[in-house]
């Protein structure tokens, strides 16, 4: 009974004291040898942890979710008493219990196993990680506290025929009969959420930055033709940011790799950005949807977030606001001032809509939305730079980064540097941009109107149709202004309007849905545009407006796939099924193809698109319903939420409800 009582007290003590230990212990390095079991989606590791005790303590902990120790935790220190380490495994922590002495550095080693439910994912023939928000401690005992920066070195053993990527430099590869061990070395510390690995079948394109940093761009071997449009301007943006920030890239190299079914657009793991393969595009897809913004954003994080890291979510804008702002600057370098101010305008529109919905928060509110942290944060930096001037702003940023290298920061750390560099009192700026939830709309409009391009855009208004508005569409006003006009007068578009850029023609395809016969030939020309969005819009609108030519339109677009979600192909399949006179003998094969895109092997965006069409067509059957039920447990929360909502809708159909019930019963019986 006494033993139970003491253990209960020990657990209670750990529960109270485990929240913060950075004042007690400083974790210096974690070296891990890792291997994987695909059959049970488990990770096996041998780990060596080095830490310095700052204050005498009887216990420390590593964050570790659902850990299984495969060996005792032992100390490599020479002193006998250092080797007598007792352990206690909680649900999410490994406690190390000993008389730890202040001023002493310890090295402990142990073997472990985990079956992560988050943060490390087995997707088809890929394995990849996503640590932010889910934490690395799901697959590697480490420290979730962002304020404890650690040097990580990973050695990863995996079957031959795959590429294995991790943070830092590849120092060696040990090739055996069936496996290869990849040894990666990091030379500087980082927060644990930035640790990453990616395993898959990849090819690589290598470049070197102007400053000599190795750049590696990974891609699926079958996507060789998509490398240039996917990674377009990557080296140029890297070189620009080094110059603009005034500080050399702080890591050994920079690698980028796409993965399937990634949870977000991209993740700025230190020296290894992982991004969604949805952004792997061909030269046509590049027009509509490309990787440039995400690419620049994740690259900027290598300084803002990785090199200097916010102490807490209260200061999260120091990461996301800065990354968004410097991505804007990189795009400005490539596309010019008009693009820059347009992005600021679009960000302002989103923030205003958020405020009108009563959802505005301050930049220092830890519960702020992504729009606030990212876009209001970028706007705050744009405004601050206008206030203090380019040279002062750049000096302050460079000083701020240098002073807090590989450390953690708060908002005042940055504000202090700007005040010292400028001699300004920035309390007014802080009140206007950081502390209040009220959006400074007047200041934003004044800033936007410094651009001639934006002034012209604001001045044009065609909500009331006039001949001058028609003339604007064949004038030299900006494409953005022309798109605004098209959105305001879609029923007045004439043939001359089609003599415009791809962007303006795409707007016509989206806004002009009722097609007058007078512009039929011009509208049909949209099917030739190098834009998958335009082709999708035009195909549908032409099919609806001119039933007599449906076969012609389907025949013309039968080989167009579209993006990774096959947007054009899936529309084509649906229209084929609804065009009785077109290829009547192939209808079952067409339906089978559509159903096939909804199945688990397909990309989640493709599956989502296929599910939507199956719903519209009333074509759900047992195989696709089973796939939809499986999708409710998909790790991408947007997709799983979509699947749950759609499944609930299907259950209102008595026939499908019975099918769903049968599938559930079959699964229960198997268990």
Cα-atom radius of gyration of the chain, to the nearest Å? 28
Residues with Cβ < 8 Å from 76, sequence gap 6 or more?
48, 107, 108, 109
Helix (H) / strand (E) containing 255: strand 254-259
Q: For residues 296 and 541, is the Cβ–Cβ distance under 8 A?
A: no
On average, the pLDDT of the chain sits at 94
Residues paired with residue 259 on neighbouring β-strands, in sequence order: 276
Angle at 215 between CA 139 and CA 237, to 5 degrees: 110
pLDDT, tens digit, 9 for 90 and up, residues 625-671: 999 999 999 999 999 999 999 999 999 999 999 999 999 888 766 65
Helix (H) / strand (E) containing 276: strand 272-276
Four-CA torsion 402, 403, 409, 410, nearest 10 degrees: -110
> Looking at 82-96, 429-443, 491-505, which range is the least confident one?
82-96
Q: What is the pLDDT of residue 78?
A: 58
Q: What is the pLDDT of residue 466?
A: 86
H helices present in 516-636, as ranges: 520-524, 532-545, 550-556, 567-577, 587-596, 604-617, 622-631
H helices present in 404-478, as ranges: 411-422, 427-429, 441-448, 452-459, 467-472
SS3 211: coil
pLDDT, tens digit, 9 for 90 and up, residues 153-209: 999 999 999 999 999 999 999 999 999 999 999 999 999 999 999 999 999 999 999
Q: Between 358 and 79, whose confidence is greater?
A: 358
Which pLDDT band holds residue 67 (cuts at 50, 70, 90)? Answer: very high
Q: How many H helices and E strands in the chain?
A: 26, 22
Helix, strand, coil in percent for the chain, rounding step 5: 50, 20, 30
d(C-alpha 155, C-alpha 162), whole Å: 15
Residues paired with residue 185 on neighbouring β-strands, in sequence order: 169
Four-CA torsion 180, 184, 190, 196, nearest 10 degrees: -30
What domains can be seen in the chain, in order of their start residue? 19-200 (2.60.40.1730), 202-302 (1.10.390.10), 318-454 (1.10.390.10), 460-559 (no CATH), 561-671 (no CATH)
d(C-alpha 508, C-alpha 504), whole Å: 6
d(C-alpha 108, C-alpha 241), whole Å: 40
Q: What percent of the chain has pLDDT over 90?
A: 92
Angle at 199 between CA 197 and CA 200, to 5 degrees: 150
For residue 670, the number of C-alpha atoms closer than 13 Å in the C-beta half-sphere is: 6
Q: Residue 499's Cα: distance from chain center in Å?
A: 37
Q: Between 425 and 83, whose confidence is greater?
A: 425
Q: For residues 317 and 367, is the Cβ–Cβ distance under 8 A?
A: no
Token output for 447: 């800033």
d(C-alpha 611, C-alpha 598), whole Å: 6
Distances (CA, A) of 584 to 129, 523, 563, 594, 595: 46, 27, 27, 16, 18
Distances (CA, A) of 49 to 32, 195, 357, 365: 9, 15, 49, 35
How does strand 120-123 pair with strand 126-129?
A: antiparallel
pTM, two decimal places? 0.95
DSSP letter string, 302-353: TTBTTTEEESSGGGTHHHHHHHHHHHHHHHHHHH-HHHHHHHHHHHHHHHHH
Residue 5 has pLDDT above 90, yes or no: no
d(C-alpha 232, C-alpha 290), whole Å: 9
d(C-alpha 125, C-alpha 2), whole Å: 52
Residue 4 has pLDDT above 50, yes or no: no
> Looking at 268-272, 408-412, 456-460, 463-467, which range is the least confident one?
463-467
pLDDT, tens digit, 9 for 90 and up, residues 94-113: 999 999 999 999 999 999 99
Closest by Cα among 143, 148, 91, 144 to 114: 91
d(C-alpha 582, C-alpha 350), whole Å: 44
- DSSP conformation class of 150: B
Dihedral of CA 401/407/408/410: which sign? negative
pLDDT, tens digit, 9 for 90 and up, residues 469-512: 999 999 999 999 999 999 999 999 999 999 999 999 999 999 99
Q: Between 82 and 445, whose confidence is greater?
A: 445
pLDDT, tens digit, 9 for 90 and up, residues 120-153: 999 999 999 999 977 899 999 999 999 999 999 9
């Amino acid at each position: 009974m006494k033993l139970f009582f003491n253990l209960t007290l020990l657990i209670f003590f750990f529960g109270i004291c485990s929240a913060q230990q950075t004042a007690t212990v400083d974790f210096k390095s974690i070296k891990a040898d890792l291997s994987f079991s695909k059959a049970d989606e488990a990770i096996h590791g041998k780990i060596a942890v080095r830490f310095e005790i700052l204050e005498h303590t009887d216990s420390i902990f590593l964050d570790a979710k659902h850990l299984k120790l495969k060996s005792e935790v032992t100390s490599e220190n020479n002193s006998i008493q250092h080797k007598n380490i007792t352990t206690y495994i909680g649900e999410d922590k490994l406690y190390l219990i000993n008389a730890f002495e202040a001023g002493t550095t310890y090295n402990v080693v142990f073997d472990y196993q985990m079956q992560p439910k988050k943060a490390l994912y087995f997707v088809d023939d890929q394995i990849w990680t996503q640590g932010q928000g889910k934490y690395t401690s799901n697959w590697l005992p480490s420290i979730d506290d962002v304020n404890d920066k650690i040097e990580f070195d990973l050695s990863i053993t995996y079957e031959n025929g795959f590429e294995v990527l991790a943070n830092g430099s590849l120092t060696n590869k040990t090739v055996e009969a069936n496996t290869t061990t990849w040894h990666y070395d990091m030379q500087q510390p980082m927060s644990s959420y930035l640790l990453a690995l990616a395993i898959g079948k990849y090819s690589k394109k290598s470049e070197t930055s102007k400053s000599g940093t190795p750049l590696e761009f990974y891609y699926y071997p079958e996507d060789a033709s998509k490398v240039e449009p996917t990674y377009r301007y990557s080296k140029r943006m890297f070189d620009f940011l080094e110059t603009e920030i005034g500080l050399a890239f702080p890591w050994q190299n920079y690698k980028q790799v796409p993965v399937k079914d990634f949870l977000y657009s991209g993740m700025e793991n230190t020296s290894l950005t992982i991004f969604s393969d949805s952004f792997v595009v061909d030269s046509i897809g590049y027009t509509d949807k490309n990787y440039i913004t995400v690419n620049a954003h994740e690259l900027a994080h290598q300084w803002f977030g990785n090199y200097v890291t916010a102490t807490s979510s209260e200061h999260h804008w120091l990461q996301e606001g800065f990354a968004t702002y410097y991505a804007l600057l990189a795009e400005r370098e490539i596309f010019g001032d008009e693009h820059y101010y347009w992005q600021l305008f679009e960000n302002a529109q989103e923030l205003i809509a958020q405020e009108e919905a009563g959802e505005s928060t301050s930049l220092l509110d830890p519960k702020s939305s992504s729009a606030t942290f990212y876009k209001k944060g970028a706007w705050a930096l744009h405004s601050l730079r206008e206030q203090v001037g380019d040279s002062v702003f750049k000096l302050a940023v460079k000083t701020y980064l240098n002073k807090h290298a590989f450390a953690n920061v708060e908002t005042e750390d940055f504000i202090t540097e700007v005040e010292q560099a400028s001699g300004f009192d920035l309390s007014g700026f802080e009140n206007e941009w950081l502390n209040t939830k009220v959006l400074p709309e007047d200041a934003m409009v004044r800033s936007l109107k410094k651009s001639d391009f934006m002034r012209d855009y604001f001045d044009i208004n065609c909500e009331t149709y006039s001949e001058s508005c028609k003339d604007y569409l064949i004038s030299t006003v900006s494409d953005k202004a022309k798109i605004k006009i098209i959105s305001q007068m879609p029923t007045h578009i004439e043939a001359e309007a089609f003599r415009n850029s791809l962007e303006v023609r795409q707007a016509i395809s989206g806004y002009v849905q009722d097609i007058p016969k007078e512009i039929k030939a011009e509208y049909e020309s949209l099917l030739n545009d190098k834009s998958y969005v335009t082709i999708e819009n035009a195909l549908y609108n032409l099919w609806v407006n001119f039933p007599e030519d449906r076969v012609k339109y389907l025949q013309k677009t039968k080989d167009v796939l579209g993006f990774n979600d096959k947007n054009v192909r899936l529309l084509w399949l649906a229209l084929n099924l609804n065009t009785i006179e077109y290829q009547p003998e192939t209808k079952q094969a067409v339906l089978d193809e559509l159903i096939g895109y909804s199945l688990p092997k397909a990309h989640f965006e493709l599956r989502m698109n296929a599910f939507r069409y199956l719903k519209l067509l009333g074509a759900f059957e047992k195989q696709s319903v089973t796939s939809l039920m499986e999708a409710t447990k998909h790790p991408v929360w947007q997709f799983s939420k979509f699947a749950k909502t759609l499944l609930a809708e299907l259950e209102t159909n008595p026939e499908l409800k019975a099918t769903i019930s049968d599938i559930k019963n079959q699964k229960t019986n198997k268990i």
